[in-house]
Structure 1
Amino acid sequence: MGALRKADFYYGSLLSCFVNRGLAPAIIEPGESRRIYKLATNDGDFRIYAKYVSASLPRQKNDVRLWQFIFSPEEVEYIREYKEIKTTLYFALICGQERMQDSEIAILSLDQVKDCLDVHYGRESYRITIKREKGTHGLKVWGTGRADLLDGKDNTIRIPRDLFSCFK
């Protein structure tokens, strides 16, 4: 076996969560910047589009963490064209921390990702930002196509921190 890469640890943590839950994911598209897994459950088959960032953005405050995921135009084209006819697509955004046990995994649906990225608007780069605030339930999500504030009010998408809530 060759040397381990940082990506192996992040994708491995996602796979460990699935295996510990009794699921057996199969990789169908490997890569450094993203990986796509197939996951079969009693509730149906899913595809998991996984991306990671290895560290949060510099702290805004002690109780806030931000992670920013950059999507290339090619990745956005894949997302734009994906049809959920046979298999539902979810996104596992792995939010890394220096202390690995402080990392998060945010699970988003295809519609949530399309909303955050605004995939029908052409631009050079696209991003999704994940925010964790101490003392609040869930994570906040927004991106290039969805502002975090609209008219001074919270416009983020709230997602649960329970990794498996979307597969029920």
Structure 2
Amino acid sequence: MSELKKSDFAYGAAISALMSNGIYPTLVSSGKRRNIYKISVNNKECELYIKSSSISNNGLYDNWIFNIEKELDELNEYLSSGKKFFILLVCIVDIFSKGELVIINSDELKALLETGKKNITISRQRTGEYMISTGRKKDEYINIRYNRFNELK
């Protein structure tokens, strides 16, 4: 019997959301901490780096924490390669019924990595954006819009 992990459901949900938005990925690499897919963006290849995390409630906001410490070399390699790529973070609320997909582009990732952080902490805002803490000051963060699928086409 093939055993399914929580991440299999999360990655499947991400692929379903992509396909519902006219984006058809191909699996390139699968691992314990992430999956990598290829898509075509404006007739150029692009890679999608997908990770998942379950919700954590800190009392004020729902947030998700994605540990990237073991992937820092790989992510920096992507940034220095000049390849177009995005990170898709599957934010799980309930593995079988509810979650969110946050899309981060390479410029946003570069800004985050420059802070020296070894994780990505995402909070949902009521304004139609996600907030990624940069760990500097309380009021310094990166805003990520909801529903960025059009940037992947």
Runs of at least 5 residues in structure 2 that lack an aligned partner in the other structure: none
1:99-138 alignment runs, 5 A limit = 100-118=96-114, 121=116, 126-133=118-125, 135-138=126-129
Which amino acid in the other structure matches residue 60 of structure 1? G
1:4 correspondence with 2:1: no
Deviation of 1:24 (Å): 1.7
Q: Would you say the 8 A contact 1:67–1:129 is kept in 2?
A: yes
Deviations 1:65-114 (A, max 9, x none): 111111124x11112122354x4010001111126443111111122112
Structure with bigger gyration radius? 1
Give me the CA root mean square deviation.
2.2
Structure 1 runs of 4+ aligned residues shifted over 4 Å read: none
Q: Number of residues paired by the alignment?
A: 152
Quick one: distance in 2 between partners of 1:42 and 1:110? Answer: 17
1:70-81 alignment runs, 5 A limit = 70-73=67-70, 75-81=71-77
Normalized per residue, which structure has more strand? 2
Quick one: distance in 1 between partners of 2:121 and 2:92? Answer: 13
Distance 1:130 1:78, change over 3 A: same
Quick one: distance in 2 between partners of 1:11 and 1:148? Answer: 33
Tell me the TM-score normalized by structure 1: 0.79
Q: Would you say the 8 A contact 1:79–1:114 is kept in 2?
A: no
1:164 correspondence with 2:152: no
Deviations 1:97-145 (A, max 9, x none): 12644311111112211221327x5xxx701110013x321111124xx
